[in-house]
Amino acid sequence: MPVAIVLKGYPRLSESFIAQEIRSLEQAGVDLQLVSLRHPTDPATHPIHQEIQAPVLYLPEYLYREPLRVLKGWLVSRKLPGYRNARSTWLKDLKRDLCANRVRRFGQALVLAAEMPAATSLIYAHFMHTPASVARYAATLLHLPWSFSAHAKDIWTTPTWEKREKLTDCKFAVTCTQTGFTHLTELAAAGINLTRLYHGLDTVRFADPGLRQGGPDGSSAERVVNILSVGRAVPKKGFDVLLGALAELPPEIFWYWQHVGGGSELASLKRLAAEYKLDDRISWLGPLPQEAVLSLYRQSDLFVLPSRVAADGDRDGLPNVLMEAASQRLAIVATSLPGIGELITADTHGLLVPPDDSEALSGAIFQAVTDPRQRTGWGNTARERVVHEFDHTDNIQPLIALLSQDSRAS
């Protein structure tokens, strides 16, 4: 009896952790139907996407582009036993969140309810905001249980009333950091089935590259230190702060920075780099598939991720790229956001600095660049932590049990 997984978009380069989860669920024998609210836009996919066998149902991304399909979805759904309750729930939400996106969510739910395999036992959404709304409305229409996995932006930008009601209404929920778990627990009513479940990392796919021996110290052009960052160019990643920190490094230090990722802020970051006169020390590589990123981890000397809390409350949880970098024994400099601190202990697995502090970030980068022995120690210790505490094979087991149990129960 299939489990429908509702995703905001599929496949996505920036959501390799979701693909990793889907593949593991398939390997465990969970029958899946993927449901995507958007069509793919990335120029490539990861190898793991080619391994996933589950079919994908693409819902109308914009309702006006597929009016006949939406109409058919409404005609079918209005005859379903849960239509009145679903419509009532949606109208209540719409009064508190009057926007086109809320209308689109209900329209997508109507299509999903009409087109989903009849034997579906559970609807499970990745992200607590839009995908969970579509899952909730569709599940109500069909009298099915539903659940969700909460991550970062969806936790911190979803209104409190909506989080409370979804936690109360769902069959179970999981979230990928202790920070998110604590926050949601404070909102949840007694008896809510909420589990902290790290995504973890596939340490077979991210195999041990072997001990790093020494490394450059930035003292000359021949000993340039290669710095790497992987992440979308969006405000919460803080790459503007990183550019300021790099500009503050002493001119006699030799470094080269490579950025992997797309994002809405990419053009403005490039302009800022030009203003700092850093163009000849930077490569903007754009979105890359996993095998190319893995190669960059192994070629680099230092990984930097200057995450911050954005103006709208958006922030990182525990970015998977930190686990990926650590798995390759790559020294890390990051910021002291709570989720990041669940992986990186300062001066043990790398260095942590306050967010939005270019001076502190520059000092940490200088320390890491000029001390290759310390970088080696951090990288080795971080690798051990990933293997022993964040291995995906161990961390996926509770989710397999939850989904399999609900599938059998239906």
Secondary structure of the chain in HEC code, one letter for each residue:
CCEEEEECCCCCHHHHHHHHHHHHHHHCCCCEEEEECCCCCCCCCCHHHHHCCCCEEECCCCHHHCHHHHHHHHHHHCCCCCHHHHHHHHHHHHHHCCCHHHHHHHHHHHHHHHHCCCCCCEEEEECCCHHHHHHHHHHHHHCCCEEEEECCHHHHHCCHHHHHHHHHHCCEEEECCHHHHHHHHHHCCCCCCEEECCCCECCCCCCCCCCCCCCCCCCCHHHCEEEEEECCCCHHHCHHHHHHHHHHCCCCCCEEEEEECCCCCHHHHHHHHHHCCCHHHEEEEECCCHHHHHHHHHHCCEEEECCCCCCCCCCCCCCHHHHHHHHCCCEEEEECCHHHHCCCCECCCEEEECCCCHHHHHHHHHHHHHCHHHHHHHHHHHHHHHHHHCEHHHHCHHHHHHHHHHHHHC
Domain limits of the chain?
Answer: 3-200+391-409, 221-389
The pLDDT value given to residue 109: 98
Same fold, 3-200+391-409 and 221-389: yes
pLDDT in tens, 220-248: 999 999 999 999 999 999 999 999 999 99
Q: How many CB atoms lie within 10 A of CB 135?
A: 29
The pLDDT value given to residue 214: 82
The pLDDT value given to residue 191: 77
Q: How many CB atoms lie within 10 A of CB 114?
A: 21
The pLDDT value given to residue 409: 52
The CATH T-level fold of domain 221-389 is Rossmann fold (3.40.50)
Model-wide pTM > 0.85:
yes
For 204-240, give one letter per residue: b (16+ CB within 10 A) or e.
ebbeeeeebeebbbbeeeeebbebbbbbbbbbbbbbb
pLDDT in tens, 248-262: 999 999 999 999 999
Ranges of residues in the chain whose predicted pLDDT is under 50? 410
For 125, the token pair is: 């959404």
User: Which CATH architecture is the domain 3-200+391-409 placed in?
Assistant: 3-Layer(aba) Sandwich (3.40)
The pLDDT value given to residue 406: 56
